[in-house]
Amino acid sequence: MMAAITAAETGASVTLLEQSNRLGKKLRITGKGRCNLTNACDRDTFFENIPTNPKFLYAAYAAFAPEDTMSFFEGLGLPLKTERGRRVFPTSDKAADVVATLEKRLRQLNVTILFARAKEVLTEDGRAVGVATNKGDYSADAVILATGGKSYPLTGSDGSGYAIAKAVGHTILSPTPSLVPLTSPSKVCQKMQGLSLKNVSLRLVENASEKVVFEELGEMLFTHFGLSGPLVLSASAHLKSGAKNAYTVHIDLKPALDEETLDARVRSDFVKYQNRDFCNSLGDLLPEKMILSMIETVGIDGRKKVNSITREERERLVKTLKNFVIPISGTRPIDEAIITRGGVNTKEINPKTMESKLLRGLFFAGEIIDVDAYTGGFNLQIAFSTARLAGAAAAEGL
Ligand SMILES: Cc1cc2nc3c(=O)[nH]c(=O)nc-3n(C[C@H](O)[C@H](O)[C@H](O)COP(=O)(O)OP(=O)(O)OC[C@H]3O[C@@H](n4cnc5c(N)ncnc54)[C@H](O)[C@@H]3O)c2cc1C
C-alpha cells in the first residue's frame, strides 16, 4: 500500500494487486490490534535493532525515517502517540485506523485495487512488463513485489512472492521463523501453562559457547509447548536459524533483589510461616501456579516443615528463584512467527532504488526482502522505508 501510494504520488498510474479479500489483513493484527507502526528512535538505535543486513537499509532509512512515517500518517489525519521504548501507535489504539488511512490515500490518488493473485512477473527483453494473475494478465511499465513473508499465512502473506521472484532468477535465502515462541522438552512449562510472569529477567544462553545472546526485563508466558510472551519473542530473534536443543533460558524471578536481599526476604517468610509445610510457605514469593514446579525443581520435600529446612536447602531455593532454568529445543513453526527471516537476497537488489539487479523494472519492498528486525515497530518501518524508495524509483523510471 505504501509503495502504491508513493508511486501514485510520484505521478504514475498504479494498480494494486491483493490476493486476500481485503487490504492490510496482517497490518490489522499488528501490535495486538494496536499497530506499533514505527519506533521514534535515533538512527543508531534503529540499526541496532536490525540484526540482518542493516547496511542494505541505509539509503531506505535516509529517504524515509521513522519521523517521516510519523509525519506521513499525522499529515493524513491519523494522530499518533509514543509509548515505552519509543514505540509509536495510533492514538486510537486501533490498527484498523492505520489501514483506513492508507486505503483513503489510495482512493484519493485513484489507485486501482484489484483483488487478484499474482502468479508471475511477465518479462520482455530483460525487463518486467507486467504481472500474470489468476484473473488475467496485466501489463505495466514497472512491477513492485511486496508480498510479505510467509508467517501468519491466513493474512495472505503465504510466501507466494518467493516463487515469483525465484522464477525471474532471484535467490531466496531460506525463510525461517523469527519473533516466534520457543519450544521446550521440559514438563515444567506444560504444568505452568497459562501462567504469565511480569517483571522477570530472561537470559538466553547458547549452550555450546555459554554465551548470553539475549538478556532483558519484561513479561513472559508458559504454554503447553514451552514459552511465549514479549520477552520470549524478542529472545527468539537471537537464535541461530534451525538450531535444535542448542539454547537454554534462564529466568530471574526476582530481578530487583540481589541474592543476599532475597535470602533475607526468604528467611523472614520462613520465620513467619515456620510451622507450615514448605509447600505452603511460598505464597508471598511466587504465583500459586508456580509453587509446585519450584518445589520439584529445588528438590525439597513439600511436606517438610519450614522450621526444619536447612540453610543449604534455603540457599538452593534462593539460587533457583534467581535462576530458573528451561531447556529450549527450538521454535514453533513459521506460521506462528511474527516475522520471516530470509527472503530475496539483498545482494541482488539495488539498495538505493529497491530495483532488481537481475530484471529491470522489477522492484521489491517489505518483508519479502532478506531483512528483519526486533520488535518495537522496526519491521513496519523497514516495510515503509523500502516501499517509499521502490514506489518513487518505479514511478520515476517511467
Ligand atoms: C501478529 C503480528 C503482529 C505484528 N506486529 C507488528 C508491530 O506491531 N510492529 C511492526 O513493526 N511489525 C509487526 N509485525 C510484522 C509486520 O506486520 C510485517 O513485517 C509487515 O506487515 C510486512 O509488510 P509487507 O507489506 O512486506 O507484507 P505484508 O504486510 O505481509 O503484506 C503483504 C501483502 O501481499 C499480499 N500477497 C501475498 N502474496 C500475494 C500474491 N501472490 N498476489 C497478490 N497479493 C499477495 C498479502 O495478502 C498481503 O496483504 C507483526 C506481524 C504479525 C504476524
Domain with CATH 1.10.8.50 in the chain: 181-331
Q: Which three cell numbers stand for residue 20?
A: 486476500
CA of 276 to the centre of ligand 1 (A): 54
CA of 152 to the centre of ligand 1 (A): 9
Helix (H) or strand (E) holding 389: helix 378-396
At 275, the amino acid letter reads N
**Which of the listed residues 25, 106, 336, 379 should we mutate to test ligand 1's pocket, taking the one with most ligand atoms within 8 A of CB?**
379
Residues 6+ apart with CB under 8 A from 32: none
Give 384 Cα–ligand 1 centroid separation in angstroms.
11
Q: Which CATH class is domain 2-177+340-396?
A: alpha beta
Q: Integer distance in angstroms from the first to the last C-alpha of the chain? A: 19
181-331: CATH number? 1.10.8.50
Predicted TM-score (pTM) of the model is: 0.93
Angle at 246 between CA 180 and CA 336, to 5 degrees: 15
Q: What number does the ligand 1 atom closest to the CA of 20 have? A: 47
Distance CA 394, CA 362 (A): 8
DSSP 153-164: GGGT--SHHHHH
DSSP H/E element including 112: strand 112-114
Decide: helix, strand or coil at residue 219.
strand
In tens digits, what is the pLDDT along the chain, a chain of 398 residues? 999 999 999 999 999 999 999 999 999 999 999 999 999 999 999 999 999 999 999 999 999 999 999 999 999 999 999 999 999 999 999 999 999 999 999 999 999 999 999 999 999 999 999 999 999 999 999 999 999 999 999 999 999 999 999 999 999 999 999 999 999 999 999 999 999 999 999 999 999 999 999 999 999 999 999 999 999 999 999 998 778 999 999 999 999 999 999 999 999 999 999 999 999 999 999 999 999 999 999 999 999 999 999 999 999 999 999 999 999 999 999 999 999 999 999 999 999 999 999 999 999 999 999 999 999 999 999 999 999 999 999 999 77
16 lines ligand 1 (CB under 6 A): no
Domain with CATH 3.50.50.60 in the chain: 2-177+340-396
Nearest CA to 95 out of 183, 29, 194, 161 is that of 29
Q: Is the CB of residue 168 less than 8 Å from the CB of residue 162?
A: no
Separation of 267 CA from ligand 1 center, angstroms?
51
